[in-house]
Amino acid sequence: MTSIFDGMSAIIAGALGGTVRYRPTTGPERDVPGLFREAPIEVEDATGNIVLIPAPTWRVAHNLVPELARGDQITTPDGRSWSVMNVQPGGSPAADANVVAELHRDPAG
């Protein structure tokens, strides 16, 4: 049943998002497509409740960053750097389901 959802994350990121430079605390850095937003967003948590995330966020397909964790960093195309503070799993059962990383601006970047 999840196959009907497969591929949607990549389509959405391609249409609405951009590419950021992802630097995990372990493993190689790489360019990854996703949706970076500075405005607050609402997401559904694991229990189905709506949660407001007031911080900047990066929505990305989990299969592109399976190691995504607190302390990882991204650099947006405008050169600003951000640290991952928290990771919210998405509610979709798809193989490429999105996760949302709550970000904090790095003062040096």
Looking up tokens 């919210």 gives 88
Q: Which residues contact 11 (CB under 8 A, 6 or more apart)?
A: none
pLDDT range class, residue 9, cuts 50, 70, 90: very low
Given a cut of 70, is residue 91 above it in pLDDT?
no
CA distances in angstroms from 68 to 2, 25, 58, listed in the order given: 22, 9, 11
pLDDT single digits (tens) 13-35: 444 569 999 999 999 999 999 99
Cβ–Cβ under 8 Å, residues 69 and 61: no
pLDDT single digits (tens) 41-79: 998 877 888 989 999 999 999 999 999 999 999 999 999
Cβ–Cβ under 8 Å, residues 45 and 86: no
pLDDT range class, residue 85, cuts 50, 70, 90: very high
Kindly report whether the global pTM for this prediction surpasses the value 0.85: no
Position 3 scores a pLDDT of 43
The phi and psi torsions of 12 (rounded to 5 degrees) equal -65, -45
- Other Cβ atoms less than 10 A from the Cβ of 40: the count is 11
Question: Strand, coil or helix: what is 82?
Answer: strand
Position 90 scores a pLDDT of 67
Given a cut of 70, is residue 11 above it in pLDDT?
no
